[in-house]
Amino acid sequence: MQSPLPDALPVSRLDPREIPSEDQFEAWHQAAAPLLDTALAADPATFTAGITCYLVDTLIFTRTQFDRMRFSRGASHLANGETDCITVQYYKTGSIKGCLENGTPLIMAPDRISIHDFAHAYSGFGQTAEEYGVVIPRHQIPAHDRIYRHQPMFSWAVSSPQGRLITSALAAIWRELPMATQAQAGAIASGFVGLLNGLLSAEPDPSDSVHVRRATLRGMQEYLRANLDRRDLGVDDLCRTFHCSRSTMYRLFQDSGGIHAYLRDLRLGRCYAELGLVSGHGAKRVREVAERWGFHNASHFHRLFKQRFDIPPSEVLAVSRQTTPEILENPKGGFLTEVERMRAWWPQYC
C-alpha cells in the first residue's frame, strides 16, 4: 500500500485483515520466499501473519507478526554466491529457536537484540511473535567479515548499553517512518547504520588479555564444530590441541554452562537441522538421527530437545514433510500487488 503523502517513503504491507483466510499463509510464503522458506506449524484455518516494510534509502525496516511456523534458509537461497545482508532483529514478543548449518545456536527472543549474517544457512521454529527488523547491505558494515567468519549469529542483551541504544533507535525511527519523506531517507538510514557500526567497533585492543581469551574460545568453538561427529571429542582433546590446562578450558566455556553443555547443544542443533531436511516416519526416524549424534536414550533426548527448542523432535519432522504452498495465480484481492512489490525489494539483499 503506497502512502498518499507526497514524496513519502516506499511502503508495502500485508495486512491479515485484508487477506482471505484461505490465502493467509500463501501470501506470507510468497512475500518471504526470496529470503527463506516457511512451513506451517499452526492450524491453516486460523493461521495469520502480517508484515509492514519501509524502504529507507538502502535499508529495509520491517515489522512482522506471525503464528507458529518453521523457517529455513538453505542451499537454494545461497546459490547465487554472495548474500549481501546483515540483519538486526528485536522480538517484542515470541521467539525463534534453531541453529545455523554448522550447529551454532540461533535464538531470537525478547531479551536480546540479534545480529544475523544471512550468508549462512539456518533453520528455526518460531512461536507466535511480533518482531522488528532492519535489513542492511553487507558493504555498509565494516565488521562484516568478522561477523561472517566468527559471529554469524550473536546478540546483545536488551538491558545492556548496546541493547538499550538499539531498541531506543528502533522505537524512534518507527514513530517517524509514517511521516518521513524520501528526502529524509538517507539521514535516517545513515544514522542507524552509524549507531550500529559504532557499537560493533567497540572491540578491545588486540593485546588485551580479554581479546586473547575471546580468540582462543572462538578457535576452540570452530574446532568443536568441525569435529562434532567424533565421539572422543571433549576436554582432553581440546587441552592437547590448544596446549592449555583443564582449568583454562573450563573458564573459557563457563558462560556456556561448561564444555559438555556446549557440545550437547551443538549436537542438538545438528539433530534439529537433520530432522528439518529428512523424510521418514515418526519415532524411528527421530531415533536414527538422535543416535547418529550420540543421544541413545529416547526420553532423555526428547526432554533435552524440547527444552532447547521449545518443540518436540517429532514435530520438527512432521513440519518438514509438509508440502510447499501453491503459488497464487488468480488474484483474490489487492494483497497480491503488495506481495509483488515486497518481492521486488529483496533481490539486492539476497
Annotated domain spans of the chain: 11-203+328-349, 209-278+280-320
Grid cell digits, residue 234: 571433549
Dump pLDDT digits (tens) for 240-253: 888 888 888 888 88
Q: For position 279, what pLDDT does the model report?
A: 55
Report the interhelical angle of 259-275 vs 313-320 (nearest 10°).
30
Q: Does domain 11-203+328-349 have CATH number 2.60.120.10?
A: yes
Which one of 1.10.10.60, 1.10.3720.10, 3.40.50.2000, 3.20.20.70 gives the CATH number of domain 209-278+280-320?
1.10.10.60
* pLDDT exceeds 90 at position 64: yes
What per-residue confidence (pLDDT) applies to 26? 84
Range from 147-151, 159-163, 324-328 carrying the lowest mean pLDDT: 324-328
Mean pLDDT: which of 116-120, 187-191, 209-213, 285-289 is highest?
187-191
Q: Whose CA is closest to 323, among 100, 49, 44, 58?
A: 44
pLDDT band for position 114 (50/70/90)? very high
Q: How many other β-carbons are positioned within 10 Å of the β-carbon of residue 319? A: 19
- Helix, strand, coil shares of the chain, percent, nearest 5, are 45, 20, 30
pTM to 2 decimal places:
0.77
Asked whether the CA dihedral 84, 144, 135, 77 is positive or negative, the reply is positive
